[in-house]
Amino acid sequence: MVRTLFGLFISVFIFFIFSSFHSGNHPAAIKLRTIVIDPGHGGLYPGTRGLISAEKDVTLDISLKLGEAIKARFPNTKVVFTRTTDACVNNADNLHDDLHGRAQIANQAKGDLFISIHCNSTRQPAGGYYEKRVIGHKKKLVYVGKGSKKRKKWINAPIYESYWVKNTRVGTETYIWKAGKQENKNDAINEREESGEDVADSSSSAAAEEAFDLTSPEARMRATLYEKKYFDNSALFATMVEESFAAAGRQSYGVKQRDVGIQVLQATGMPSVLIEVGFLSNKEEEEYLNSNKGQDEVVENIVDALERYKNQVEGNVPVPPASAQDSIRQ
């Protein structure tokens, strides 16, 4: 009798899980009620530096403008920032707590999309650097050997010339979390659920969720289902962002994953992306990203992509995970 009741209980739970998905194995539509914007770095952690600016300042400027643009374009959408000043999140005094605080803000806000803004750089010095090259040779008398075997020898010594190498790398790329890092994302999804509100839609039944321990196998299974949905939607939005940049004439390096993972993406229980808006190590692109014109164009590109994404996920249009994931670069 007990076993029969337990089986019935599990069956009811599974029914609630799959009732939140449309037929054809496509996730239910997501409503973009809350968007979390994360200006990368800040406070103790300036990020990369260009010739005239630090990443933490550029990302904050662009993020604040992005928030205002989203409010103007989508007045029914709430915007939450992880920071609005040049400070670590929650006044953290170490990087782990700073990053954890960003994810915590997003999860507690019940975000439907997490957008982290960053700037890129190459390993070479910002602006450019000097290198040497051989432009010829000349005869040079040197001593070789030691002691009684020491003798003179003529050699062809290279003649070097220093020359300036401009740091020419420019462009954008958008990261999504590493799909193999499933456990971290599942933890974030369950953390988001702790208030009892359904992940996909607050109108869904919360009673079924509250009847289960969020660390149970059943909760883990449910989180895995949503992890797949969030990965597909992250890839979809990231692809649209890079398409928008490319259409505006920017160099796009596409959608990528990083083998080591990205903590703020792994730890947020929602679709999440990290957008590298350009290279501060390139003199002209740094000037562009510090200008009102450049920042306004970056914001417009992201908001245009957001509008396409919103129309698709809220319009019950099936998300094409295969085609979206095909464009992801490792």
Q: What is the band of 38 on the pLDDT scale with cuts at 50, 70, 90?
A: very high
pLDDT tens figures, 151-187: 888 889 998 989 888 999 999 999 998 766 555 665 6
**For the chain, what percent of residues have pLDDT higher than 90?**
57
Instruction: Give the integer Cα–Cα distance in Å for 101 and 119.
Output: 20
Instruction: Give the integer Cα–Cα distance in Å for 303 and 244.
Output: 9
pLDDT tens figures, 218-261: 555 555 655 677 888 999 999 999 999 999 999 999 999 887 77
Q: Give the contacts of 2 (CB within 8 A, at least 6 positions apart).
A: none
The pLDDT score that the predictor gives to residue 223 is 52
Q: In terms of DSSP H, where are the helices of the chain?
A: 2-19, 55-73, 95-108, 182-192, 207-210, 217-247, 263-266, 283-290, 292-314, 321-326
The pLDDT score that the predictor gives to residue 163 is 84
**pLDDT surpassing 70 at residue 127:** yes
Q: What is the band of 12 on the pLDDT scale with cuts at 50, 70, 90?
A: very low
Strands (E) located in 73-186 = 78-81, 113-120, 128-144, 151-166, 172-175
Q: Specify which of 189-198, 211-220, 263-272 reaches the highest per-range mean pLDDT.
A: 263-272
What is the DSSP-derived secondary structure letter of residue 325? H
Q: Nearest-5° angle of CA 24, CA 27, CA 33?
A: 150
What token pair was written down for 310? 């919103």
The mean pLDDT of 130-135, rounded to a whole number, is 90
Beta bridge partners of 162: 132
Q: In this structure, what are the phi and psi dihedrals at residue 158, rounded to the nearest 5 degrees?
A: -70, 145
**pLDDT surpassing 60 at residue 207:** no
Q: What is the band of 202 on the pLDDT scale with cuts at 50, 70, 90?
A: very low
pLDDT tens figures, 318-327: 555 444 445 5
The pLDDT score that the predictor gives to residue 186 is 56
Q: What is the band of 205 on the pLDDT scale with cuts at 50, 70, 90?
A: very low
Going along the chain from its start, the domains and CATH numbers come out as 30-125+169-329 (3.40.630.40), 128-164 (no CATH)
pLDDT tens figures, 52-108: 999 999 999 999 999 999 999 999 999 999 999 999 999 999 999 999 999 999 999
Q: Specify which of 3-7, 14-18, 23-27, 44-48 reaches the highest per-range mean pLDDT.
A: 44-48
